[in-house]
Amino acid sequence: MKYEAIIGLEVHAQMLTDTKIFCGCSTKFGSEPNTQTCPVCTGMPGVLPVLNKKALEFTIKTGLAMNCKISPYSRFARKNYFYPDLPKGYQISQYELPICEHGYIEIVVDGTIKKIGITRIHMEEDAGKNIHDSGSVGGNFSFVDLNRTGVPLMEIVSEPDIRTSVEAVEYMKKLRAILRYLGVCDGNMEQGSLRCDANVSVRPVGHDGFGVKTEIKNINSFRFVEKALEYEIKRQIKILEGEGKIIQETRLWDSSTGTTQSMRTKEEAHDYRYFPDPDLVPLMVDQKWIDEIRSSLPELPDIKRGRFISEYKFSEYDAELFTSEKSIAEPVEEAVKLGAKTKHLSNFMPVVFNYLNEKGKEIDETLLKPIHLVDLSNLVETAVVSGSMAKTILYETLDTGNMPSEIVKEKGLVQISDTGEIEKIVDDVIIKHPKEVERFKAGEQKLLGFFVGQVMKATKGKANPQMVNELLKKKLT
C-alpha cells in the first residue's frame, strides 16, 4: 500500500516591535536577565494590559500579505497552563475570534505553483525562558528570565495542504520571505524569532479521512524541517504497516540523533480552559485603517518574481533566487536599471551568495553597490575582462568596495584579446607538449581542455578564453 503525508505547520513569528505586546518594556535581545520587566509582564496583581498598536498593525499587514480576511471584530483569550516561565499562569492569546483568517500563500515546487491555505493568524504574548544551571552554583538550580515574557508573537497556522517535506520547506521559505519583506519579523530561526511546529499524519493514497496526527516541536532550521518530517512520515508508515497504532502525541525533534522522540501526549484545546480575557476589551478594527495598511504594503516576493521574469528576462530559477530577499532583489534591480546585463548578473550573483555564505554576512553588510555590478557588466560586455576574471574582481569588490574598473587598472588584469599575442602563446604551448598533440590528433578530444588550461596558466588567466579555444582548434586540426 502507498501512503501520503498530511502536514500542517504552526509558525510562531516574533514581531519586530520596540516594546512588548501589553506593556512598554523593551524587546531588545540579549540584555541582562530580568532587566526588561515591569509589573504587567511579570503578572503582578491589579495590573492591566494595554495592546501595543504596532503589534496589531504588523499582524494586519501580515494577514493582508497572505491574502487573509481581516476580522473587524476579534478578541483576546486566556490560555491557561502552569509553567515557571509564565508568571500569570496563563498566556494571553486569541482563540475563537482571531484577527486574520482564510488566507493562502503560493509556493513553487518542481516548476508548479501550489496554494497553501492559511487557516488563521493570531497575536499572542511570548513566555519567559528557563535556564537550567549546569554547575556554576552547584548544578541544582534553575533560573527564570522574564525579559522575553510579553514579547509579541504572531502564530500563523496553515491548512493541512502540505504533502511532502519539500513542500513544507518551500512554505517556510516563502513565509519567511514575506515576513522579512514586510519588516515585521527578522526570520532568524537559530535565534528563535521564527519557530515551527509541524502536525503530521499519514493515510493510504486515495483515502479522504485523516489519520492520527502527531505534533513535532523544536524545529529550528529549514534543513531540520525537512529531516524531521521525513523521519516522522517514515516512522508512522512503519507503524501502520506493522498493523500498529499511532498515538496522538507531541514529539520533540532531536537534531543530534536525527529522530523525533515522544514528549507527552498531545493536549486538547479544552485542557487549556480558554476563555475571553476580561482585562482586554474586544478589538474593533475599522476598514479605513485596514485600507491604509493595505496601501502601505511593499511589492511582495511573488509579484517581484513575476516582474523579474517578464520585465528583465531572468530565468525562473534566478528570479526565484534573487527575489527571495528584498536586500538581494533591490540591488539587482537597481543594477539592471542602470544598465547591467541580465545574463551577467546571473553569473555574478552566485559569486555574491558564495561570499555571503563564506563570511556569514548579509548583503547589506558588504560594501557592494549596484553601480559595481554595472561597471563589472560593462567590463565583461566589452571583453575587457573574461567571465572568470570578473568573478575574482567581484570578490575583491565585496571585500574592499573598490570599483571593478579600478581593480582592473590597478592590477593590470585587462584581458588579452590581441590575436598575435595569444597565437604566440598557443604555438609555444603546442611545441612544449608534442605527446599531447599526438594523442589529441589520434582522437582524444577532451585534451583540448588541457591545452586551454596551459594557455590560461601562461597568461595568468588573462587570455580571452573564446579566442584561445578557436586558435587551438584551428592549430590542432
List, in sequence order, every residue forming a beta bridge with 198; answer none if it has no partner.
9, 216
The backbone torsions φ and ψ at residue 261, rounded to the nearest 5 degrees and listed phi first, read -120, 140
Indicate the residue among 7 and 41 with the shorter CB distance to Zn ion. Answer: 41
Would you say 146 or 385 has its CB closer to Zn ion? 146
What part of residues 7-26 is at the interface with Zn ion (CB under 5 A)? Answer: 23, 25
Enumerate the β-bridge partners of residue 11.
156, 196
CB neighbour class for 365 (10 Å; exposed up to 12, middle 13-18, buried from 19) = exposed
- Nearest approach, Cβ of 146 to Zn ion (angstroms)? 9
Residue placing its CB nearer to Zn ion in the complex, 150 or 331 = 150
Q: Which stretch binds Zn ion (CB under 5 A): 35-43, 116-124, 130-138, 193-201?
A: 35-43
Closest to Zn ion by CB, 17 or 201? 17
Judged by CB under 5 A, the stretch of 33-41, 107-115, 132-140, 335-343 that binds Zn ion is 33-41
Considering only the stretches 40-48, 55-63, 151-159, 455-463, report the one whose residues sit in contact with Zn ion under the rule CB under 5 A. 40-48
CB 390 within 8 A of CB 348: yes
Element (H, E) at 177: helix 165-182
Q: Which is nearer to Zn ion, 23 or 293 (CB)?
A: 23
The least CB distance from residue 280 to Zn ion, in Å, is 15
How far apart are CB 43 and Zn ion at their closest, in Å? 10
As measured in angstroms, the least distance from the Cβ of 212 to Zn ion is 41
Binding pattern for the stretch 41-80 against Zn ion, x by CB under 5 A and - elsewhere: x---------------------------------------
Residue 243 CB contacts under 8 Å (≥ 6 apart), including other chains: none
User: Does the footprint of Zn ion cover residue 379 (CB under 5 A)?
Assistant: no
Total site size for Zn ion, rule CB under 5 A: 5
In angstroms, what is the minimal distance from the CB of 39 to Zn ion? 7
Cell of 150: 510579553
Nearest residue (CB) to Zn ion, 38 versus 456: 38
Which residue bears the cell 530565468?
Answer: 315
Residue positions counted in the chain = 477
Give me the helix-helix angle, 465-476 and 434-441, nearest 10°. 70
249-254 and 214-219 as β-strands: parallel, antiparallel, unpaired? parallel
Looking at the Cβ atoms of 42 and 417, the one nearer to Zn ion is 42
Min separation Cβ 355 and Zn ion, Å: 41
| Contact assessment for residue 218 and residue 233, using Cβ atoms and an 8 Å cutoff | no
Using the minimum distance from each CB to Zn ion, give the nearer residue, 46 or 360. Answer: 46
Binding mask 211-240 for Zn ion (x = CB under 5 A): ------------------------------
| List 38, 290, 309, 414, residue binding Zn ion (CB under 5 A) | 38
Measured from the CB atom, the residue of 35 and 327 that comes closer to Zn ion is 35
Angle at 207 between CA 205 and CA 209, to 5 degrees: 130
CB-wise, 21 or 379, nearer to Zn ion? 21
Please, which residue, 125 or 375, has the CB nearer to Zn ion?
125
DSSP 3-state of 154 = strand
- Applying CB under 5 A, the span of 39-47, 159-167, 278-286, 452-460 interacting with Zn ion comes to 39-47
Min separation Cβ 33 and Zn ion, Å: 14
Binding flags for Zn ion, 259-298, as an x/- string (CB under 5 A): ----------------------------------------
Buried b (16+ CB within 10 A) or exposed e, 398-434: beeeebbbebbeeeebebbbeeeebeebbeebbeebe
- Minimum Å distance from CB 147 to Zn ion? 9
CA distance 381 to 43: 65
Q: Is 87 or 301 the residue whose CB approaches Zn ion more closely?
A: 87
Calpha distance 343→348 (Å, rounded): 9
Query: Least separation, in Å, of the C-beta of 20 and Zn ion?
Result: 5
Cα gap 286→277, rounded to integer Å: 21
- 128 burial type by CB count under 10 A (0-12 exposed, 13-18 middle, 19+ buried): buried
Which among 38-46, 234-242, 262-270, 458-466 is the span making contact with Zn ion, rule CB under 5 A?
38-46
**Burial tier of 9 (Cβ tally within 10 Å: 0-12, 13-18, 19+):** buried
Distance CA 166, CA 341 (A): 33
Q: How far is the CB of 34 from Zn ion (least distance, A)?
A: 11
* 280-294 CB burial, b ≥16 within 10 A, e <16: beebebeeeebeebe
Taking the complex as a whole, how short is the minimal distance between the CB of residue 388 and Zn ion, in angstroms?
57
Least distance (Å) between residue 32 CB and Zn ion: 15
Q: Which residues bind Zn ion (CB under 5 A)?
A: 23, 25, 38, 40-41
